Amino acid sequence: MTEAEPEQDAGSYRSLWRLRSFVRPYSRQMLFMLACAALAVAASTLIPLVLEAVIDGPIRHGDRAALVPMFLAALGLGLLEAGLIVARRQVQSVAVLKIEREIRDGLYTRLQELPVEFHDRWQTGQLLSRTTTDLGTIRRFLGFGAIFFIVDGLQYIAVMALLIVTYPPLGVISVLTTLPVIFLAKRFGASYSRISRQLQDQQGDLATLTEEAATGMRVVKSFGRGPLMQERFGSSARVLRGSALDMVRLRARFWGWLTLIPNITMAAAVLVGGIAVAHGSLSVGALVAFTTLLVLVQFPIIDLGWILSMAKEAATAADRVCEIFDAPLTVRDRPGAVALPSAKGRLAFEHVGFTFPGTRAAVLRDVNLVIEPGETVAIVGLTGSGKSTLVSLTTRLYDVTAGRITLDGRDIRDLEIESLRRHVAMVFEEPVLFSMSVRENLVLGRSEACDDEIEEALEMAQAGFVRDLPWDLDTRIGEQGLSLSGGQRQRLALARAVVARPSVLVLDDPLSALDVSTEALVEESLARVLPTMTGLLVVHRPSTVALADRVALLQEGTLVAAGTHHELMNRPDYAAVLSVERDTTTTAS
Amino acid sequence: MSTVESWHGIAAEEVEEIPLAWTGLLRRRTRHLLGSLGAPHRRALIGVATAVLLSNLAATAIPYLVGIGIDIGIPAVRRGDYVPIAAIASAIVACALLQALLYRVFVAGSGRVGQEILLELRERVFAHFQQLSLAFHEHYTTGRMIARLTSDLESINEMFALGLDTLVNAVLSIVGVGVVLLVLDLPLGLVCLSGFVPLWFLTRWYQRESSAAYRNNRTAMARVIVQFTESLRGIRAVHAFRRQARNDEIFGQLSEGYRLSMSRSFKLLGVYWPGIVLIGNLTTAAVLLYGGVRVIDGAMQVGVLASFVLYLRRFFEPLAEVSQFYDSFQAAAAGFEKLAGVLDERPGVPMPAHGAPPPAGGWRGRVDFNNVRFGYRDGIDVLSGFDLHIPAGQTVALLGATGAGKSTVARLLARFYDPLDGEVAIDAVPLTDLAETELHRAVAMVTQESFVFSGTIAENIAFGSPGASQSEIEAAAKAVGLDSFAESLEGGYDSDVGKQGSRLSAGQRQLIALARAFLADPAVLILDEASSSLDAPMERQVQSALATVLSGRTALIIAHRLSTVEIADRVLVLAAGRIVEDGPPGELLAQRSGHYASLYEAWRESLL
Ligand SMILES: Nc1ncnc2c1ncn2[C@@H]1O[C@H](COP(=O)(O)OP(=O)(O)OP(=O)(O)O)[C@@H](O)[C@H]1O
Ligand SMILES: Nc1ncnc2c1ncn2[C@@H]1O[C@H](COP(=O)(O)OP(=O)(O)OP(=O)(O)O)[C@@H](O)[C@H]1O
Ligand SMILES: [Mg+2]
């Protein structure tokens, strides 16, 4: 179900590194956080040294008075550590979350720019999990993982240096016994990457299933197939659990090793250090401080467990995020694209061919059609003949794969998309409404439209029913418009296209859900509106054909005939498509 | 710049969970949910707890052994006796091995329990969503449902992944170390433990503040998800109407809302955590002062003070970690709370688990609407006093202007909703008495929106009929005229239809929906504008298929193209929720001034 195969170098930090442009504006804050963290750790590292001083100094000499400055030093260090943590957390709560937000907004913007063809392929759940869960993972890495990786590394080095200075033989032993950590990290790192990518992809799949179960709820309910959906979801959830358990086992093994190593070092220190003290080459105080310092490296080593997993998870999450940023914007403004301030609306298809990406058979072949300003052309054809595909090319939902489409003589790919889409408005065969107010749905294509224009459009589309809604134009429409009847949805979608005041109006089977009398009324008003613009209609019914000046017959992706309805009537294939023969409609009369 | 609210419009009812008073550590229903999830794992949990307990004992022994090494091993070495120190070093190694092994057992074991609980919770919530009525879903929205099942569950997963071991580990090590401290030196031990008093107050404060903050986080995230899914689902309209900029703005506001909310919980932790560190450091300083004095006074040995300070680390370091765990716990609790809220929601259209049995001899398909009243919104009835009786085997065409309530009648018959008053029955059995599987053996419906699932053509056709054979699937496809298209594809019936049918044309999707219903073979078949996107020849084919499929079956057909009516035995004309005409098509046509006659006339004219 996952579209993109994990890259070969999954889990390398390349993608994560690429996200640095989002981090760069906050590099000062990041450095500040790093400094605070490092200083806090240093403060807490110094406290055992105070202990050494206390044991070797005041206690040995029985000097009560000298105890007080030591106490104050420990107190000061303690306050400093807490203060530094506060400072870091306050900065973190702003900077890291801002970075996360910016990546999230960037992803959303990018996703909206990506062509319809991308969205035909990519499941919403996959995209969603990248925008939510994966970004959370990256944020956590930036806020903790990255910082503590550095801090722990520094702490390890500092403590080891101190140990070597305190008593070189013991220091060297400590370094040697902790070095295997590096090999462990290498060994487990690769598995972490593989499993975390798997987990993230499976999370996306599960989100996809959820989305589908929610969107298809009506079908599920009308066949009582909840159990099937449950089973699908369950098996996907179990696959996810399988990977999660792999992760758990991996973590258990790795963490087990990590807790072992510092304790072995401790045993070596006691043995070697104890003997050294007995032989007088080390003071007791130094040995105590030594063991205390060893406890201090215990934490960086154990921390490595979660830092490494965090880093690997963030790396694969960044891979997934970058896959979206890297998806080609196939439909975009060409360099030098121009804005068209106004359009007369002469639309011409010149040898247009189209093949869906990833398929071999062309859906459209050598389509030639010119629609003059003010003219209306109806496209007629059998189910699957390519009508919807043809009309969706006019606003560049897809780009032609052969030939070109021109608006007022200019290739539409040489126009700024924004300006092209301002001139061409569409009504889709399945009306797309959003869960927002009726007004916002209507002015989608032209937010500056005034109330009179909305009124006019509603009138035209016979959508007076909005007046009966509880809050009139301000009523929120349910998700996908499902709180409206099918015909109501369709009329709103039609009104929306009219509000946009386009030069070219493209209607894909816009009246299919209307009853005969409403349809007649809408057709009447459409007949008034259409002459003021260029019209391209996809039509299944003879009545709607009457709106068109000319009709073009599409057969398996090729335009086989164009002309007026009456001219085409003689063609048997045309008559068959529209069923004008009335051969089946005779029982009642 | 308008606010989020104004573009959003006003909704009739929004199902926002209203936070009840927060009593105790967790709200009752959340606690109940947790209990029921944990119960089956009690033994595993005990095993895991034992492992971590022993692991901690082993870990706690190490500093103690270090102390002994200093106090006993060193003097022995001075005497030339190396045995004690070697024995102590070996004991440390043994403890270390034991500790690592047990810790590994613990991490694996607790992780497994966590994942099992998560799976159980996931499935439970999903199953519950399936049971909840459409009315609920219409208000709850897809996006919120997704948010519950993804990001809320994720917050719980995080607690299991990061937190659980820290907590158990830390609590045990705190208790263990606490006891050791008291044993080592009672007065000094008491000084250490006195740090718990400010800790208690700090924790109470944090608990109160953070649970509110995390609840906000969940809600804010759900808002982000709602906007995200909806705008991507409608991406064609977003592109065609250049909605990107406005959507960016709206999304920006929502994601800023999430950021601010998160920022608040971050800041709270940013006080709580250093607060604990501070308490720990102050205690250490106090120990240093007081312990120093006691050693000088000869009341304590140097080695004891050394192990004291070592132990103190083991005491407060885990406490700081607990604060982090507590943070992820609060996040998870907010997620739990939302999920518990969903699980608490009673299904609006409850299906009995063991419903009435089908009539002897199987379903015949008599349909009765008895004095039904129904409306989607309070105070606005779409149907009232609605009576309709369809004898078994009759094919009824339901006509009427858009918005008249035709789909509503169909939905009541498929039990998407329950009537507010009156009842709907099949073969005199009220729909409310039927179990889900039985209900759908009796009724199936092709909805106005022909939804196709991601997957293959065959899977989609077989959706309503578990266990249908390939030949049955192909027969159903052939009946509606989908066969030539399916066979023209490379993979035939096993071709992938793409994301929710994106690789199909609208007509092809509708044919799949029809084939699905034909194959399901219910006693009562409802077709709600099931052929509106078909071309005329296709529709004719579907018509003739219907004529065969419907023989001996009850059918309710809603269509605007009157060609459908030809196979109907009876025509009903609905206007504003009332039946205004009822009779066989021929008869109604004879009433020249009737609704049907004029509809028919208009339709004939529309054919040109
Ligand atoms: N995203 C896609 N990928 C691959 N094939 C596609 C895709 N979308 C559509 N097709 C195929 O292209 C053909 C033309 O589809 P189109 O939607 O243009 O048909 P149509 O003429 O509008 O049909 P209808 O009258 O049913 O709406 C169909 O056979 C369809 O299966
Ligand atoms: N889920 C819903 N929530 C609120 N109101 C609804 C809902 N579904 C339908 N309505 C309203 O109930 C009324 C009847 O709708 P219904 O879908 O039954 O009409 P219909 O006769 O099927 O129309 P059409 O032919 O356009 O499909 C309409 O005014 C509609 O706005
Ligand atoms: Mg189409």
Per-residue pLDDT 10s for chain A (589 aa) are: 334 444 445 557 888 888 888 989 999 998 998 899 888 888 877 776 777 677 777 777 777 777 788 788 888 888 888 899 899 988 888 899 999 999 999 999 999 999 999 998 898 889 999 999 999 999 989 888 888 888 888 888 888 888 888 788 888 888 888 888 888 888 888 888 999 999 999 999 999 999 999 888 888 888 888 888 999 999 999 999 999 999 999 988 998 888 888 888 888 888 888 888 888 888 887 887 788 778 777 778 888 888 888 899 999 999 999 999 999 998 888 888 888 888 888 999 999 999 998 888 899 999 999 999 989 999 998 888 999 999 999 999 999 999 999 999 899 999 999 899 989 998 888 888 888 888 988 988 888 888 888 998 898 888 888 888 888 888 888 777 777 888 888 899 999 988 888 899 999 988 888 887 888 888 888 888 888 899 999 988 777 888 889 999 999 889 988 888 888 888 888 887 876 444 444 333 3
B138 lines ligand 2 (CB under 6 A): yes
Total domains in the fold of chain B: 2
Report how far residue B203's alpha carbon sits from residue B194's, in angstroms, rounded to the nearest whole number: 15
Instruction: Give every CB contact of residue A476 below 8 A, 6+ residues apart in sequence.
Output: A435, A436, A437, B8, B9, B10, B11
**DSSP string over A286-344:** HHHHHHHHHHHHHHHHHHHHHHHHHHHHHHHHHHHHHHHHHS---S-PPTT-B--S---
User: Which site among B112, B136, B241 would you substitute to test the A interface, given the most A Cβ atoms closer than 10 Å to its Cβ?
Assistant: B241
Tokens 């569950």, located at residue: B153
CB count in 10 Å sphere of residue A120: 18
Whether A570 and chain B come into contact, CB under 8 Å, resolves to: no
Q: Which ligand number lies closest to the CA of residue A393? A: 1
- Examine the domain organization and report whether B279 and B394 are in the same domain: no
The per-residue pLDDT for A5 is: 42
Domain containing B134 — which CATH number? Answer: 1.20.1560.10
Report how far residue B127's alpha carbon sits from residue A213's, in angstroms, rounded to the nearest whole number: 11
Phi, psi at A96, each rounded to 5°: -65, -40
Amino acid at site B12: A
Contact status, residue B241 vs residue A421, Cβ threshold 8 Å: yes
For residue B555, tell me if it sits in a domain. yes
- Residue B439 is part of which domain span? 367-607
Nearest CA in chain A to B525: A222
- Examine the domain organization and report whether B180 and B108 are in the same domain: yes
For residue B350, tell me if it sits in a domain. no
- Examine the domain organization and report whether B429 and B334 are in the same domain: no
Beta strands A550-555; A558-563: pairing state:
antiparallel
Query: Which residues on chain B are in Cβ contact (under 8 Å) with A39?
Result: none
Amino acid at site A92: Q
> Which of B599, B513, B73 lies closest to A218 in space, CA to CA?
B513
The per-residue pLDDT for B10 is: 55
Report how far residue B551's alpha carbon sits from residue B145's, in angstroms, rounded to the nearest whole number: 41
Both tokens of A368, joined, read 């030639």
- Examine the domain organization and report whether B455 and B572 are in the same domain: yes
Tell me the residues of chain A between 116 and 145 that have a Cβ less than 8 Å away from chain B: 116, 119-125, 127-129, 131-133, 136
Last residue of a domain, which of B309, B344, B379? B344
Residue B602 has its nearest CB partner, among A241, A430, A520, at A520
Nearest CA in chain A to B263: A93
- Examine the domain organization and report whether B390 and B289 are in the same domain: no
The per-residue pLDDT for A6 is: 42
* A410-411 β-sheet, strand order: A364-371, A347-354, A402-407, A410-411
* Neighbouring C-alpha atoms within 13 Å toward the C-beta of B99: 22
Ligand 3 center to residue B546 CA distance, Å? 23
- Ligand 1: which of A117, A118, A352, A356 to mutate, judged by most atoms within 8 Å of the beta carbon? A356
- Ligand 2: which of B15, B382, B413, B574 to mutate, judged by most atoms within 8 Å of the beta carbon? B382
- Examine the domain organization and report whether B490 and B573 are in the same domain: yes
* Neighbouring C-alpha atoms within 13 Å toward the C-beta of A500: 30
For residue B356, tell me if it sits in a domain. no
- Examine the domain organization and report whether B266 and B375 are in the same domain: no
- Examine the domain organization and report whether B421 and B461 are in the same domain: yes
Q: Inter-chain contact A582–B607, Cβ cutoff 8 Å?
A: yes
Instruction: Kindly report the nearest CA distance between residue A64 and chain B, in angstroms.
Output: 7
Q: Inter-chain contact B9–A471, Cβ cutoff 8 Å?
A: yes
Residue B10 has its nearest CB partner, among A63, A279, A474, at A474
- Examine the domain organization and report whether B388 and B299 are in the same domain: no
The residue contributing the CA closest to ligand 2 atom 8 is A483
The per-residue pLDDT for A87 is: 92
Residue A577 has its nearest CB partner, among B127, B463, B535, at B535
Contact status, residue A354 vs residue A364, Cβ threshold 8 Å: yes
Report how far residue B306's alpha carbon sits from residue B37's, in angstroms, rounded to the nearest whole number: 45
Q: Inter-chain contact B302–A55, Cβ cutoff 8 Å?
A: yes
For residue B13, tell me if it sits in a domain. yes
For residue B362, tell me if it sits in a domain. no
For residue B295, tell me if it sits in a domain. yes
Both tokens of A157, joined, read 């080095």
- Examine the domain organization and report whether B583 and B511 are in the same domain: yes
Report how far residue B191's alpha carbon sits from residue A486's, in angstroms, rounded to the nearest whole number: 74
The residue contributing the CA closest to ligand 2 atom 22 is B407
- Ligand 1: which of A389, A428, A539 to mutate, judged by most atoms within 8 Å of the beta carbon? A389
For residue B355, tell me if it sits in a domain. no
Q: Inter-chain contact A588–B585, Cβ cutoff 8 Å?
A: yes
* Helix, coil or strand: residue A407: strand
Q: B433: which DSSP letter?
A: G
Ligand 1 center to residue A463 CA distance, Å? 29
B406 lines ligand 2 (CB under 6 A): yes
Query: Which residues on chain B are in Cβ contact (under 8 Å) with A85?
Result: 270, 273-274, 277
Ligand 3 center to residue B242 CA distance, Å? 22
* Helix, coil or strand: residue A505: strand
For residue B351, tell me if it sits in a domain. no
Beta strands B578-583; B570-575: pairing state:
antiparallel
User: Which site among A22, A72, A270 would you substitute to test the B interface, given the most B Cβ atoms closer than 10 Å to its Cβ?
Assistant: A270
B447 lines ligand 2 (CB under 6 A): no
Q: B160: which DSSP letter?
A: I
Contact status, residue B584 vs residue B391, Cβ threshold 8 Å: no
A486 lines ligand 2 (CB under 6 A): yes
Specify the ligand 2 atom closest to the Cα of A482: 1
Burial A509-532 (b: 16+ CB within 10 A, else e): bbbbbbbbbbbbebbebbeebbee
- Examine the domain organization and report whether B316 and B405 are in the same domain: no
Query: Which residues on chain A are in Cβ contact (under 8 Å) with B95?
Result: 263
Instruction: Kindly report the nearest CA distance between residue B379 and chain A, in angstroms.
Output: 10
Domains of chain A (ranges, CATH numbers): 18-326 (1.20.1560.10), 347-588 (3.40.50.300)
Amino acid at site B73: G
* B554-558 β-sheet, strand order: B443-446, B524-528, B554-558, B395-400, B570-575, B578-583
Query: Which residues on chain A are in Cβ contact (under 8 Å) with B540?
Result: 579, 584
**DSSP string over A507-575:** EESTTTTS-HHHHHHHHHHHHHHGGGSEEEEEESSHHHHTT-SEEEEEETTEEEEEE-HHHHTT-HHHH
* Site residues for ligand 1, CB cut-off 6 Å: A 120, 356, 359, 363, 381, 383-389, 429; B 498, 502-508, 533
Ligand 1 center to residue A379 CA distance, Å? 14
Contact status, residue A192 vs residue A141, Cβ threshold 8 Å: no
Q: Contacts for B545-549 with beta carbons within 8 Å, 24 or more apart? A: B545/B479, B545/B480, B545/B481, B545/B518, B548/B479, B549/B479, B549/B518, B549/B525
- Ligand 1: which of A121, A387, A559 to mutate, judged by most atoms within 8 Å of the beta carbon? A387
Ligand 1 center to residue A383 CA distance, Å? 8
Query: Which residues on chain B are in Cβ contact (under 8 Å) with A519?
Result: 560, 606
Instruction: Kindly report the nearest CA distance between residue A351 and chain B, in angstroms.
Output: 22
Question: How many contacts, defined by CB atoms under 8 Å, are there between A and B?
Answer: 585
Q: Tens digit of pLDDT for each residue in B557-566? A: 998 877 777 7
Whether A250 and chain B come into contact, CB under 8 Å, resolves to: no
Q: Inter-chain contact B259–A100, Cβ cutoff 8 Å?
A: yes
Both tokens of A109, joined, read 């913007």
Last residue of a domain, which of B344, B379, B414? B344
Last residue of a domain, which of B296, B312, B344? B344
Domain containing B537 — which CATH number? Answer: 3.40.50.300
Ligand 1 center to residue B502 CA distance, Å? 9
- Examine the domain organization and report whether B64 and B209 are in the same domain: yes
Q: Inter-chain contact A116–B69, Cβ cutoff 8 Å?
A: no
Report how far residue A412's alpha carbon sits from residue A505's, in angstroms, rounded to the nearest whole number: 15
Query: Which residues on chain A are in Cβ contact (under 8 Å) with B543?
Result: 584
Q: Inter-chain contact A516–B560, Cβ cutoff 8 Å?
A: yes
pLDDT along chain B (608 residues), means of 10: 51 46 54 84 87 83 84 84 88 92 89 90 92 85 88 85 67 78 83 85 88 88 91 89 89 94 90 88 83 80 75 75 81 85 83 81 88 86 89 89 88 90 90 86 85 90 87 89 87 87 88 89 87 81 83 86 81 87 84 81 73
Report how far residue B495's alpha carbon sits from residue B457's, in angstroms, rounded to the nearest whole number: 6
Whether A567 and chain B come into contact, CB under 8 Å, resolves to: no
CB count in 10 Å sphere of residue B205: 14
Ligand 1 center to residue B112 CA distance, Å? 47
Q: Inter-chain contact B508–A384, Cβ cutoff 8 Å?
A: yes
Query: Which residues on chain B are in Cβ contact (under 8 Å) with A424?
Result: 240
Contact status, residue B160 vs residue B48, Cβ threshold 8 Å: no
